[in-house]
Structure 1
Amino acid sequence: MQNRRILECSVPGGSLDPGEQRSFEVDYEVLTTTRTYPMAASGGTVEVGVHGSGTGYDRAAYPARFRSTSGSLGNPVPYVQDSQAEASVTSAGAVTLIRQPDGSFTGRLPVTVRWSGDAAHDMLYVNATLPGGVRIWGTDPQDAPSSFTSFEVPGGRLMQDEERTFDVILRAPATTTPGELGSATFSLTTNWNAQPLVDADPTDNTTSFTVTATN
């Protein structure tokens, strides 16, 4: 199912002795806001077995319950996760690339990404359409991969209603003629299980800006 995640971990403490019983806890994270009422979700399963054997796995089902803002767990309502992404991106309307000691031009463009829902996602990434010669030179902060024409939104997955602002660093070669270089566009996409998600409102998934180079 789209909103399921399969994780693996080793039983802590190393190998078990014959007949040994061992208890431990597994932490979970749910990227949704708390509510004034408790919620419940079903369908969780856990399996245990000897890794690599392919046999002897035992399975148990379990539900999940989300505590309300008042601390209550009683009489929960079903938790319904968003099935579509709800992301948006905005940027400063212009960026100026300034000549550097090595002759190249670099500049910073402030970008803001907002995540309004709680759909399952691994990351948000941006594809860029840039004037000739202009390249993406990373983000600040930079804790996610980037290329000359794309980057992941830094900071990892976003909480519901989280807004994140960062700089995108742009670069042009030393052979660039100073002046207006043209317009550019950033297009935001949500990724889950290596697949792009449909956005509930794609009209706010792009932002455009102008690029200028100066000495």
Structure 2
Amino acid sequence: MPQIDLSSLNCFYFFLLMLGVFYALLVTVAGGLHSVHLPLDIDLSDLSVHLPGHVDLAGAPSHDVSILSLSPISIAAFITSFGGIGIIATQGFHADGAASLLWAAGGSIVVAVVSHFLFFFIFIAPQASSALKTSDVIGVTAEVTAPIPGDSVGEIAYVAMGERHTATARSHDGHSIPRGALVTIESLAGTVMIVKPSSK
């Protein structure tokens, strides 16, 4: 088996470690830039771009394919930990080139998978559990915040899962319902709540 030059390998490990660190710094700084307002106003609404040719995608098949494991968090964790574990293997444990590559690859895969699942369970899963379901709102008492005309829609406010929500609403029988009246949510028609005057 050919010998791997440890000085070149250590440079490679250090490069990957710094790449991951700089990526983390860039994301941290860029994440705070969304609230920075520059004193310029650029209006490109009158700019029209015409490209030659025609593309018809009407008959193209569509697939719901996603590779959730390759999120930016997982990639950054893999790159950073590959460099860090490689340096620890060569400098701390005096491993040869091939052994340090194996340790770096195996360890960084573990770190990437763990970071992916931690990110999912800390940030993504709680969002999914806070979504309202139809069964959470049927039968709930709401207050009309914008009058509901008999032939159109108005707005209601209600409390579900401990939070106040507003929604577009329509009368179940076509009669007008004034602002401030209490109503009961009967059903949903798309995103419109079908309500009837409450008997309370």
Common fold by TM > 0.5 = no
Greater Rg over alpha carbons, structure: 2
Whose strand proportion is higher, 1 or 2? 1
Q: Structure 2 length as normaliser, TM-score? A: 0.23
Of structures 1 and 2, the one scoring higher in RCO (CA 8 A, sep 6+) is: 1
Q: Structure 1 length as normaliser, TM-score? A: 0.22
Whose helix proportion is higher, 1 or 2? 2
